[in-house]
Structure 1
Amino acid sequence: MASGLEEIEPDSGLEERTSSLSIHGHREEGEKNTRESKIVIAAIDFGTTYSGYAYIFRDELDKAKDSSEKSNVIYKHWQSGSDAGICSHKTPTCLLLNSAGKFDSFGYPAEEKYYNLMNNNAHLGWRFFKRFKMILLNERNLTTETKIPDDQNNIFKAIDVFALSLKFIKEDLIRSLKRTGFDIKEKEIQWVITIPAIWNPRSKQFMRMAAEKAGMKSKQLEFALEPEAAAVYVKETKVAKQRVSGDEHALVPFSVGTRFMLLDLGGGTIDISVKEVVPGRALKEIHRASGSGLGGDSINVQFFQHLEKVFGSKVMSRFKNENNQKAALYDLEMEIELKKRNLDFDQNGNLKIAIPPALIEMFEEDEDKDFEEHLNSFPGFKFKRGKLLVNQKIITEIFIPSVTSLIQLVRKIIAQENVTKISDIIMVGGFSQSPIVSKTVKDLFKHENVNVIIPNDPDLAVLQGAVMYRYWPEVVRTRRSPYTYGTRLLRLWLDGDDESKMTRRGKSKEVFCGDHFEKFVSLNDEFETGQTATIKVYPVEADTTEMAIDVYTSDKSDPRYTTDNGCEKLGRLVVHMPDTTKGLDRRADVTMTMGSTEIVVQGKMMPDGTPTKVVFDMLNAK
């Protein structure tokens, strides 16, 4: 039995036939009916630094007459254990497991309990995870077996960390629903989880598997791209100024034809989307989703890098890694997080950072010198009464990498030929509230006749929009492909092919070209929601019962080979073709949705359209 693995073999005709591609749109009525049968729409904003959820009863949206009623969602109010007087709509994305690896707590309770354990030096063996979401952006070889370190550098399966976290949020939301007095069953909830638009399909598959492991049924779950969800919300918010009469103006939602850029500036990622409002109050994507991993947390990293210059790498490494200093390290991390957000400079232009006494003692012990005197050789730094005074110039330097990355991304997008007539830039996400970031963006466009708007509660825009999107996914009319997609192909040799790709096959030693990138979708191609690309698959031999095809992505528009820079193997399509009666005279059509938030594959044996099993493994395929 032939498997058809690796490159497509010659003499089968497949080297020509598999490149046949058709693209068409379709709407799944079954999915729509399933969606409308749910009583509750529940959205989870699972962030790098903070997470939260919101929900609404579907009939409230059915009855909504205007945009304000559409956004009338119910939030969870999370209460900080360390300061019982403060409630917020989000809780820290951190998970605490006991020494046996079992769930203990999530969010503020996990943070507080682990801090108390550290203060009592009783934390050894406990497993505390925070800011772990970034692995889904940064890990290039993500699998279901990928492991991540906890606070004490003990490793644990990443998918279990995500699943346990999502399970807690899901169950907490269900408890909240029960307190309303309504008898809501899990099967009556339609879930939506927000994810960065710049995640690759592999990370999305990982998140879906984690959500299913947390107990969410696949048919009840959909993803919302974070900047897209925010765009859905903003589209219905009264943010545009319209003349009513004379000098009188009123705020109204964006009108049809408005083109705007959405900057979702979160803790982990910067996500940028460009949309146009089209007839029917829907959205069309003008430019593919773009972004970087230099969100608000990158400022914390820069802070610590500057502290390393001041204290020395040896002292900072010791301070970070000694278990008996974990509580002090946590205090410093929280101090930096707080001061980064407020940037409350004193009259001399200094930001005061409380430094743990243990760090000062460690420095003076290791370096055998007075810390205050040591700072004389570091312009912009002073130390008084336990506080490190950091000059405003140094703070600006700390923000430069992230802000520069943001501005470069925005300028690159606006420079594209199809990105014209942008009238508004909307900034959402917690990092958008940073005075340095917002001022930089506003200064960039102050002469461009472009409005820069930060809506009320910008950190909740994604959650609000996710609920509205799940109610009406078709609100996003079109999307742009973030990659070029193709398969790895062995084809006949052509003049101009790279000599290193030459190979001879068969009895006649005919010359072929290996590693050919057979493109079926180009970077920035536009697709309607639900639109699919169809790949025609043929068996390589008469007794082939399944075909395995490697799918690649590229960040270039026209890659030649799957080994080119910017090309990565995304995963493997395995198409089942169990009936060998017709030998080589068989064909399966594999459809891949390219206009949705995820790639979904389906297979049919032709010509009768009999469904056949297709597996697209992006996490375990070698």
Structure 2
Amino acid sequence: MEHKVIQDPILVVAIDVGSTHSGYAWQWRSAFKAKGSVEFNTNWGTGAPQIHKTSTSLLLKYTDDKKELPSVVAFGHTAESQHAHIQSDSQYQKEKHHYQLFKRFKMLLYELNKSNKSTDVQTESVDGFPQDILTIMFLFIKALKEDFLNKNKTFDTEDVMNKTVWVVTVPALWSQTTRGFMRKAAEMTGIADNNLLLASEPECAAVYCIHLPQEQQINMCNLGMPGTKFLTADIGGGTGDLSAVEVQSDGKLKELCNVAGERVGGQQVNEAFSQAMYDSFEGKTVQQLFEEATPFEIMKLEREFEASKLSIIPDSSEEKIKLSTPKLVREYITNNKIKFVDGAPISYNKNEETLEVNRVFVREKLFKTPCDLINATILKVLKEQPEIKIVVLVGGFAESGIVKQNVGDNIKKTFPDVKVVVPTSPFRAVLTGAVLFGHDPFIYKSRISRATYGVRTNTIFKEATHNPSKKWFDEENKVHRCKDVFDIHVKIGDSVSLNEALEAKTYTPLYKAQKEISIPVYESSEVGPTDGSVMYTTDSGCREIANIKVEIPTAEESSKRGVSVRMIYGGTQLSVIAECAHNGKECPAVIRFN
């Protein structure tokens, strides 16, 4: 939707809803022109780490009947702390069921993206309470937006907000439908259509890289130089998302291939640690004990491990990670009611009353699966694009010394001439790049189409080419037509420029009484026919993703009521322009994703 967003905004605010951590950043236009810094929020409440992101958590309060929209109590680190307090404080005993904590809900959208299911589905709170994912995402984006405005009250004026672009980041591998879901959630917060821009996370990271200061560019193989081809791997808490680009002579970026991605990241290490902890004890009693631990105890344990895992260096010694032990677990260990299995990587220090984890075990075992997945995904792209000689690691997981060395060593084995580099602030790459992208949304000169896109039409039936089962008789116009014809606009793998005038297709209403045309938009994972045959929207792998509503010109003659439709595929999200076929005037057109 880049072509619809206001140009030269006076302020850009980027919101990054991550799988495990989220945040926002902003920059005035004057600072962008002066190549100034992007600003971040690091104040996430009492006791929260003073970093530019907080946890992707949302604490809601429901009414007794749970029919009204819940109110936001807190988000991020504060939401987790308040939920733990409410669950443990007897003062809330009678009403604590009104408070529900939702965590890591973005991960559900990855599953929806893969399965092509409707986004009208339920997520669950940590206590198992159901809520539709759209409401949760809307309220979380709203909480971040309001936090920004509350901390920058002088920005919240009509003049400033009308000229502000809000950028919401999305994974590159998400479908048009899932991107449409995020747009809807953001628009529900009150952001107008022409003030909202979706931005691909690894693409934002690439933008960040080419805008780095010259001294950092030198340390990263001068990847901002025209002609340079590099691969950005955004590896965060829940996913690894890639983008391969070439820097053009004018400083803009050209996408080289379809993106790759996997559900992989730091959260996998956490999950593997939880399983290793259970496996370190005999029987299944310990798992029940952890489930009965207080929210405060679990929250403290999780935060301690999260902080420790990124500090482990590749050549770390036998020194152990010390973690707080929930009271019940501590009592059962002390009284010999539960015992460790032989050779367990986790032990108990009676003097300090802490669980101790072998750092070598964490490095060599818990990091192995996510690192293997990251390596496999990167190597696949490098094999397809042999001219790429630089791989840039960004995202929170890229701060781990283990990940840096593992990925670097594995790539070097297969591609010895490929350099793996990490910027000084990999955790800030996506948010910084998102702000820069908001100032210059046309920095991407072209992108590769993720699928084959087109519309469902009715055409004059041709006995020689059309399927007889698709034949129907148009009574008003006294002609046989073929239904469900997939009229292709762009094919999967095509390189499409954002400003490129793709071939417009003209559609005419079937009936004289029609005042608008409804055009269903479809995508397919297939390239489409190359032998002159016809593709149908009912074919396997083809699904409806959106609908275009176009107001029809008022001319009496049917020949002058045609609408020329041009869909824009080079942007972050699919969009449409419609014109009157006989005079070129733009027609009101709206595209709504399913």
TM-score, scaled to structure 1: 0.79
2:188 to 174, 190, 213: 213
Q: Which moved more, 1:308-317 or 1:163-172?
A: 308-317
Aligned equivalent of 1:257: 227
Q: Once the two structures are superposed, what CA deviation does each residue of 1:519-554 show, in whole Å capped at 9, x if it has no partner?
A: 432222111124354333233445555544443323
**1:294-313 pair list within 5 angstroms:** 294-310=264-280
What SS does the aligned partner of 1:209 have?
A: helix
Aligned equivalent of 1:59: 30
Distance across 2 between alignment mates of 1:470 and 1:27: 9
Distance across 1 between alignment mates of 2:286 and 2:528: 46
What amino acid does structure 1 have at the position aligned with 2:18? Answer: G
User: Measured at CA, do residues 315 and 333 of structure 1 come closer, stay the same or move farther in structure 2, by a change above 3 Å?
Assistant: farther
User: Is 1:375 aligned with 2:348?
Assistant: no
Distance across 2 between alignment mates of 1:454 and 1:79: 27
User: Is 1:133 aligned with 2:98?
Assistant: no
Report if the CA contact (8 A) 1:535-1:591 is conserved.
yes
Aligned equivalent of 2:260: 290
Q: Once the two structures are superposed, what CA deviation does each residue of 1:131-185 show, in whole Å capped at 9, x if it has no partner?
A: 1122222224665743321121112232222222222222222233336999973
2:57 to 86, 91, 94: 94
User: Measured at CA, do residues 554 and 297 of structure 1 come closer, stay the same or move farther in structure 2, by a change above 3 Å?
Assistant: farther
What SS does the aligned partner of 1:87 have?
A: coil
1:109 to 78, 83, 107: 78
Aligned equivalent of 2:306: 337
2:411 to 445, 463, 467: 445
- Report how far residue 516 of structure 1 moved: 6.3
Aligned equivalent of 1:408: 376
Between the aligned residues of both structures, percent identity stands at: 27
What amino acid does structure 1 have at the position aligned with 2:366? Answer: I
What amino acid does structure 1 have at the position aligned with 2:490? Answer: V
**1:382-461 pair list within 5 angstroms:** 382-385=347-350, 386-390=354-358, 392-393=360-361, 396-416=364-384, 419-446=385-412, 448-461=416-429
Q: Once the two structures are superposed, what CA deviation does each residue of 1:432-478 show, in whole Å capped at 9, x if it has no partner?
A: 11233211221123352222111111111112212222212222111
Report if the CA contact (8 A) 2:220-2:423 is conserved.
no
Q: Once the two structures are superposed, what CA deviation does each residue of 1:335-359 show, in whole Å capped at 9, x if it has no partner?
A: 4323332337974375555442434
- Report how far residue 269 of structure 1 moved: 1.9
1:168 to 130, 143, 149: 143
User: Measured at CA, do residues 484 and 171 of structure 1 come closer, stay the same or move farther in structure 2, by a change above 3 Å?
Assistant: same
Distance across 2 between alignment mates of 1:479 and 1:577: 31
Q: Which moved more, 1:50-59 or 1:297-306?
A: 297-306
- Report how far residue 234 of structure 1 moved: 0.7
- Report how far residue 207 of structure 1 moved: 1.5
Distance across 2 between alignment mates of 1:301 and 1:250: 33
User: Measured at CA, do residues 157 and 511 of structure 1 come closer, stay the same or move farther in structure 2, by a change above 3 Å?
Assistant: same
User: Measured at CA, do residues 375 and 171 of structure 1 come closer, stay the same or move farther in structure 2, by a change above 3 Å?
Assistant: same
* Paired positions, count: 565
Distance across 1 between alignment mates of 2:332 and 2:234: 40
User: Is 1:82 aligned with 2:47?
Assistant: yes
Report if the CA contact (8 A) 2:394-2:423 is conserved.
yes
User: Measured at CA, do residues 587 and 301 of structure 1 come closer, stay the same or move farther in structure 2, by a change above 3 Å?
Assistant: farther
Report if the CA contact (8 A) 1:238-1:251 is conserved.
no
What amino acid does structure 2 have at the position aligned with 1:210? Answer: A
- Report how far residue 565 of structure 1 moved: 6.0
What amino acid does structure 1 have at the position aligned with 2:338? Answer: F
2:239 to 269, 286, 292: 269
Report if the CA contact (8 A) 2:14-2:434 is conserved.
yes
Report if the CA contact (8 A) 1:27-1:530 is conserved.
no
Q: Once the two structures are superposed, what CA deviation does each residue of 1:198-240 show, in whole Å capped at 9, x if it has no partner?
A: 1211122221222121122221121221111111121122578
Q: Which moved more, 1:402-411 or 1:328-337?
A: 328-337
Distance across 2 between alignment mates of 1:430 and 1:164: 24
- Report how far residue 583 of structure 1 moved: 4.8
Aligned equivalent of 1:531: 500
Distance across 2 between alignment mates of 1:370 and 1:166: 46
Distance across 2 between alignment mates of 1:359 and 1:183: 56
Distance across 1 between alignment mates of 2:395 and 2:435: 16
2:16 to 45, 48, 54: 45
Report if the CA contact (8 A) 2:173-2:241 is conserved.
yes
User: Measured at CA, do residues 467 and 99 of structure 1 come closer, stay the same or move farther in structure 2, by a change above 3 Å?
Assistant: same
Report if the CA contact (8 A) 2:2-2:571 is conserved.
no
Aligned equivalent of 1:13: none
TM-score, scaled to structure 2: 0.83
- Report how far residue 415 of structure 1 moved: 2.0
What SS does the aligned partner of 1:375 have?
A: coil
Report if the CA contact (8 A) 1:259-1:423 is conserved.
yes
**Which segments of 5 or more consecutive residues in structure 2 lack a partner in the other structure?**
64-69, 530-534
Distance across 2 between alignment mates of 1:493 and 1:182: 60
What SS does the aligned partner of 1:135 have?
A: helix
Distance across 2 between alignment mates of 1:250 and 1:402: 24
Distance across 2 between alignment mates of 1:616 and 1:181: 30
- Report how far residue 427 of structure 1 moved: 0.7
User: Is 1:570 aligned with 2:545?
Assistant: yes
Distance across 1 between alignment mates of 2:261 and 2:215: 25
Distance across 2 between alignment mates of 1:312 and 1:214: 50
User: Measured at CA, do residues 242 and 330 of structure 1 come closer, stay the same or move farther in structure 2, by a change above 3 Å?
Assistant: closer
User: Is 1:356 aligned with 2:326?
Assistant: yes
Distance across 2 between alignment mates of 1:185 and 1:504: 54
What amino acid does structure 1 have at the position aligned with 2:496? Answer: F
What amino acid does structure 1 have at the position aligned with 2:494? Answer: D
User: Is 1:188 aligned with 2:199?
Assistant: no
- Report how far residue 274 of structure 1 moved: 0.8
What SS does the aligned partner of 1:129 have?
A: strand
Aligned equivalent of 1:609: 584
Report if the CA contact (8 A) 2:515-2:552 is conserved.
yes
- Report how far residue 116 of structure 1 moved: 1.5
What amino acid does structure 2 have at the position aligned with 1:266? Answer: G
Q: Which moved more, 1:224-233 or 1:432-441?
A: 432-441
User: Measured at CA, do residues 250 and 531 of structure 1 come closer, stay the same or move farther in structure 2, by a change above 3 Å?
Assistant: closer
- Report how far residue 429 of structure 1 moved: 0.4
**Which segments of 5 or more consecutive residues in structure 1 lack a partner in the other structure?**
1-25, 65-69, 244-248
- Report how far residue 263 of structure 1 moved: 0.7
User: Measured at CA, do residues 505 and 253 of structure 1 come closer, stay the same or move farther in structure 2, by a change above 3 Å?
Assistant: closer
What SS does the aligned partner of 1:443 have?
A: helix
User: Measured at CA, do residues 606 and 543 of structure 1 come closer, stay the same or move farther in structure 2, by a change above 3 Å?
Assistant: same
Report if the CA contact (8 A) 1:94-1:129 is conserved.
yes
